[in-house]
Amino acid sequence: MDEAMLDGNAVAGLLQDVFAVETTTTIATCAGCGAPSPMGATQVYRGAGFVLRCPRCEQAMVTLVPADGRLWIGFPGIRTLQVPVDDS
């Protein structure tokens, strides 16, 4: 494992600020290979921000860049995101 790489659980707090759900267990389907995986299982690389990569094909799925009191979010590689809802 690369020293700069973490798993998706490392950015749970940042994602929790945006989504009012438990983000680490939401299922993201990769736009590159089509594999579904929990956000917590993505590979997170740190740099100017964070890049969450598919654990199967390393497609950049999500980018997070905290700067100047804002969080810049990109979803360049997510086909679908499954978020649990209370539909009762």
Sign of CA dihedral 51, 69, 18, 22: positive
* 71 binds Zn ion, rule: CB under 5 A: no
* Sheet with 60-67: strands ordered across: 5-7, 43-46, 50-53, 60-67, 70-74
Query: Which 3 state secondary structure label does DSSP give 39?
Result: helix
Q: Which range, of 4-12, 18-26, 49-57, 62-70, touches Zn ion by CB under 5 A?
A: 49-57
5, 18, 21, 33: which one binds Zn ion (CB under 5 A): 33
66 vs 74 by CB, closer to Zn ion = 74
Residues that bind Zn ion (CB under 5 A): 30, 32-33, 35, 54, 56-57, 59
